Amino acid sequence: MRKPPAWRGPVLVLVALAAIFAVAPRLYSNESVLFTMMTFMALAQGLNLLYGFTGYLPFGYVGFFGTGAYATSLLVTFTSLPVIAAVLLGGLAAVVVGLILGPLFRLSGPYFSIANLAASQIIYNVVANEALKPITGGPYGIKIEHVYAPTASYVTMLAILLAATALAAYFRRSRFGLGLRAMHQDPISASLAGVDIVRERLIAWLASAAIAGLAGGAYAWNLSVFYPEAVFTLQISVFAIVFALFGGVGTVIGPLLGAALLYAFYAGIGVSAPQYFELLYGLLIVLLVLFLPNGLASLLTRRKVDVL
Amino acid sequence: MALLEYALIGGILYGIFFSLVGIGLNLIFGVMRIINLAHGQFIMLGGFGAYLLARGLGLNPLFGIPLAIAGGIVIGYPLYYGVVPRLQKSQDPEMLSFILFFGIAQMIEAVAVFAFGADQRSLPQDALGSGNIGVLGQEFPDSWWVACLVSVLAILGLYLYFSRTRLGFATRAIMADRDEARATGIDVDRVSAIALIIGIALAGIAGVFVPYLIGSVSSSIGDGLTTTSFAIIIIGSLGNPLGTVVGGLVFGIGTMLMQTYYSSWSNLAPYALLLAIVLVRPSGLLGKAVRRA
């Protein structure tokens, strides 16, 4: 039997995703639930680019999301750029923040996560500071409702989700991703084998930051009026982490499935009873770590099914 | 000058208390190499314990201290045997414990919301003395001094435990090398379980005073306290519980100076200190944290 071409799986996933979210608004009227679901799918996938392939868990991932949201909103407020350009520059702003935070990679595992969390809190405290009220609106939030465009921002978010998924597929199937995973397992052997681990890791980090920044920009566009808390709450990091873990990090479809299933669950019961949801997903995390550390996807990979 | 004196003396008091806040986290890390991300939530539970005793039964909040120790035993013992040996067998115990204890933190927080709601709760202001005690003309409420005294006693107790008792020696042996400690016949699991209990109990004891030092206790204070504790123990020395005092003092004085001179930016202080220290001195202050490649 001939092996199917390498591009077939990724293309199938991308086409399926695009088709589902293009048709879904006709079948399900609450478009904001669909929009937020795509946001978390994009974030879970973006986080997967770093955590799934390098083992570095960016606990302050929300910092990039908030940076993107605010950069986009400020550009829309103070310049006459088209909104879509502002969203792209929001992604760029997150990449710049990622470059500044590059030295965090001197730290290992959990210290990296904690330092990253501290960094995101610093960004939040600066943006939401009373002293910056004339520029960012401080704790009173920001308004860009004059560009509010639900359909355009929906399409933009879908494009970001597809881009994140394409990147993950590239990481999963390319030599580059192989290098990253080798580094994750044994950095010294990987660098002896010729993997430029500092450079590759930085690329994964910046790609991950860019996805969060872009998603933040599109999210801000869709909300158009929001408080800093809405785009900097630690809950966003937490959701991205749990959703990705649940589906299975290091795969392409894992984070997508995890985010779609758990967010649907959250939209069903979590909004009206958040503490029940918090209790359940806390329990879910504990059980996952103890019994299924590689997520839903590992149920298939254990049976030697080739999961993308 | 008066302002500076106020900030420095207040910073020392505040810092000694925050050494107690961080020390349990550091003990658990030092002994088990697991990261108790639910640390702040255990502190929060200690605060609510004192709140129940004071508001519900009319007792002095200081009775929260024995309650915290009892709580440490009730929670710590099953928690150790339930998850820690399993975690230590896994590929990457530090990272997995980080995520696992995050889940536990979420559960505690959810349960606290069920039990106490999301409101901020305070303790009777005069329960620990209603006056002020002054040093060099700078006055601080009695409750600060009581918190500071209890912190000193707790830290001293921990020091004596390490330096005078057999269990303490065994604990230090495990901190130095877990496998060799096991080889010399130390019951590693039992000693570690006790360390986990002590760590959680110390967090609970710190929690008793949190309503006085911070103003109130609510179900959402846990994450902030965890991050602050991390800042403190990283500034001090990871894995060395007594080094935490240095970190606590740096944090306390730094925070008080910020609050006195740049109050609108003082929320940033713990995070900025944490980031600055891990970036500037990743090897000196926290040897373990440096990646090897």
Q: Report the C-alpha gap between A278 and B107 in whole angstroms.
A: 7
Q: Which residue has the tokens 């048709």?
A: A23
Separate counts of helices (H) and strands (E) for chain B: 11, 2
Split at pLDDT 50, 70, 90, the class of B286 is very low
* Contact criterion met (CB below 8 Å) for B75 and A265: no
Gyration radius from chain A CA atoms: 19
Among A47, A56, A106, A111, pick the best mutation site for testing chain B contact (most B Cβ within 10 A): A111
| Residue A131 at interface with chain B, using a CB cutoff of 8 Å | yes
Examine the pLDDT at B116 and tell me if it is beyond 80: yes
Q: What is the ipTM of this complex?
A: 0.79
Query: Is the pLDDT at B284 greater than 70, yes or no?
Result: no
How far CA A268 is from CA of A261, A263, A271, A274, B53, in Å, comes to 11, 8, 7, 11, 38
Interface contact A110, partner B, CB < 8 A: yes
CA distance B170 to chain A (A): 26
Q: Which pLDDT score, from 0 to 100, does residue A90 have?
A: 96
Give tens-digit pLDDT for A25-79: 888 888 889 999 999 999 999 999 999 999 899 989 999 999 999 999 999 999 9
Quote the percentage of chain B above a pLDDT of 90: 26
Max Cα-Cα span within chain A: 67
- Burial bucket for residue A86 (CB in 10 Å: 0-12, 13-18, 19+): buried
The verdict on a CB contact (< 8 Å) between B111 and A245 is: no
Q: Do A278 and B100 touch (CB under 8 A)?
A: no
Mean pLDDT across chain A: 89
Residue A15 scores a pLDDT above 90: yes
Question: What mean pLDDT do residues A179-194 have?
Answer: 87
Partner-chain contact A276 B265, CB within 8 Å: no
3-state secondary structure of A226: strand
**Which position has the higher pLDDT, B38 or A235?**
B38
pLDDT value, residue B287: 45
Residue B290 to residue A107, Cβ atoms within 8 A? yes
Pick from A108, A125, A288: which is nearest to B290 by CB?
Answer: A108
Flag if A278 and B271 touch (Cβ within 8 Å).
no
pLDDT bucket at B282, cuts 50 / 70 / 90:
low
Q: What are the pLDDT digits (tens) for B124-175? A: 777 776 667 777 766 778 888 889 999 999 999 999 998 899 999 998 998 8
For A115, nearest residue in chain B (alpha carbons)? B275
What average pLDDT does the segment B18-34 reach? Answer: 89
Q: In terms of residues, how long is chain B?
A: 293
Q: What is the pTM of this model?
A: 0.85
pLDDT greater at residue B5 or residue A237:
A237
What is the rounded average pLDDT of the residues B53-81?
A: 89
Say which residues have a Cβ less than 8 Å from residue A300's Cβ, sequence separation at least 6.
A307
pLDDT of residue B1: 67
Mutate to test the interface with B, among A121, A183, A239, A245 (most CBs of B within 10 A): A121
Percent of chain A predicted with pLDDT > 90: 49
φ, ψ dihedrals at A3, nearest 5°: -70, 135
Cβ of B102 within 8 Å of Cβ of A285? The answer is: yes
What confidence tens digit (pLDDT) does each residue in B226-256 have?
Answer: 888 888 888 777 767 777 888 888 889 888 8
Nearest CB to A118 within list B103, B264, B271: B271
Per-residue pLDDT for B216 more than 90?
A: no
Cβ neighbourhood burial of B85 (10 Å; 0-12, 13-18, 19+): middle
Residue A169 reports pLDDT greater than 90: yes
Q: What is the pLDDT of residue B88?
A: 82
pLDDT of residue B16: 93
Out of B49-58, B83-92, B145-154, the most confident range is: B145-154
Domains and CATH numbers, chain B: 2-120+138-288 (1.10.3470)
**Which residues of chain B neighbour A283 with C-beta distances below 8 Å?**
103, 107
Under the banding of pLDDT at 50, 70 and 90, the label for residue A1 is low
Sequence ranges of the domains in chain A: 30-232
Q: Is the dihedral of CA A233, A235, A238, A239 positive or negative?
A: negative
When pLDDT is averaged across residues B177-196 and rounded to a whole number, the result is: 90
Angle in degrees, CA B69, B72, B78, rounded to 5: 145
Residue B292 predicted with pLDDT over 70: no
Asked if the model's pLDDT at residue B190 lies above 60, the reply is yes
How far off is chain B from A161, nearest CA to CA, in Å?
A: 25
Cβ-based contacts of B279 with chain A (< 8 Å) = 103-104, 106, 115
A107 closest CB neighbour out of B271, B272, B282: B282
CA distances from A189 to A49, A179, A183, A192, B75 (A): 22, 11, 8, 5, 42
Share of chain A above pLDDT 70, in %: 98
Residue given tokens 């108790």 in the structure block? B36
Distance, in Å, from the CA atom of A181 to the CA atom of A162, rounded to the nearest integer, reads 22
* Tokens 């030295």 sit on residue: A103
Over residues A196-206, the pLDDT tens digits come to: 888 999 999 99
Q: How confident is the model at residue A2 (pLDDT cuts 50, 70, 90)?
A: low
Cβ-defined contact of A118 to B83 (cutoff 8 Å): no
Q: Do B111 and A279 touch (CB under 8 A)?
A: yes
Q: Using a CB-CB distance cutoff of 8 angstroms, which residues of chain B are in contact with residue A131?
A: 264-265
Least confident of A82-86, A242-246, A297-301, B124-128: B124-128
Cα B84 to Cα B189: distance, rounded to the nearest angstrom: 9
Nearest residue in B to A277, CA atom? B110
